[in-house]
Structure 1
Amino acid sequence: MPHILLVEDEPAIADTLLYALGTDCFEVTHALTGADAIAAFKEISFDFVILDIGLPDMTGLDVCRRLRKVTHVPILFLTARSGEVDRILGLELGGDDYVTKPFSPREVVARVRAILRRSPELRDEESPSESVNELGLASSFFHHDDSSMRVHCHGIALDLTAHEYKLLLVLIKQPGRVFTREQLLDKAWADPGAVTDRTVDAHIKSIRAKLREVRLGAEDCIQTRRGLGYLFDIG
């Protein structure tokens, strides 16, 4: 049973979501504030976070930033204004989706299920005995830690957002294969139709910058095939 952390301070909204998620066989822990959410995350292993933007002690964006330092768990934002979408889905945050108030509780449940269906996909494809290194990569160069959902480059854990992590994992698990932008969107986004090809380009650019910070030239392992897409190649 997936365990969801619901961070929402409005009782009416929280009660509605608690009921809808509970009847759909989710286990839910409710936090009223950002501080409560961060504290709960230290004590409990959650599979999903539903996070309101307007919390009384800090913004949901601040909570997201804090969580993304320690986890890649999917995050669905609840927002009162659609104009916040650009900020919510910014590269630095790593949110997976958003719902604008007022919303249908069943819509939220449907989005949660859609994201969960995709989120474990990359992890389940890799058996416990199989690692990225066994796919031909040098252990001193790239390593994927499945349990912590971290990718290491030259022994250093990369500080990736959820989408960056998913994109990079798709590429490094099949070195030499060219993935089109459409294929990458389908594998790394819960709702590929909500984003564009340029979104992939922006995330790849960010991943390359983070690789470059670890070691100059490491970014070259993600190669562009003009008019086709991207591939991972360590040469």
Structure 2
Amino acid sequence: MPNELGEFLRARRTDAGLAPPHHDDANRRRSTGLRREEVAAASGISVDYYTRLEQGREAHPSDSVLNALARVLCLPPDACEHLYRLRGPHPLTARGQRDDAGLLRERMTAIVTAVRPNPAYVLDRLSNMVAANAEGLDLYSGFADREPQDRNTLRYLMTDSRAQQIFVEWEEIARGAVAHLRAANADDLQDPELHTFVTELQARSPLFAEWWSGHLVERRRTSITHIRTGKGIVARRHEVFYLPEDGLRMTLWITGTSSESL
């Protein structure tokens, strides 16, 4: 049986250390790539485990291992996706790996900036804000003052009391966000990052623990949400656009359709 995963890793390892000759030294010797020991050490795995991968004796490495190997071997987006596909029957586990984090954030920031003044933000599979315009940040009181890595809409809904003051249909929205978390991660519910996030929210929110244990599954869809503002309650419709290749979704809030006094 062909060892596609091992052969791919071995080829990329051999290429990883290669550099084109200088223009003034066409005969300059090339390096011979990275050794197994170097790849293993840089990836945080044992040499024995990495050797088993190359030899086809281990065919189901975890996402964290593949992430590390892709980084060490400097795989471009398509090669990274191919690596995940060689691992096994999980074609969607490579979502979010097509671009590095910086480039992905740059792309998404350009999109949400283009739709101003409508509030908009882009979330990943754990509801972390990858990008947001100023109006989108304003929907979540306090988000503008947080570091980008601390902006998570599900954590905000479940643990920040301000969420219940802002969103009139808070329970419906929060319950839907929990259901979406499971739907967005259906391909790998044992993912360590997801497990850590779920464990945190279970400890901090009994309601989250109840809803998560209920195995609610539902993707976010368009709906009308009532938001409390300084001028009263405003009804706003939002649309959700999915970017499956990147494992992201963008929420675009449409101009308020009605309002009433508090």
Give the TM-score taking structure 1 as reference length. Answer: 0.31
Give the number of the structure whose alpha-carbon radius of gyration is greater.
Answer: 2
Give the TM-score taking structure 2 as reference length. Answer: 0.29
More strand by share: 1
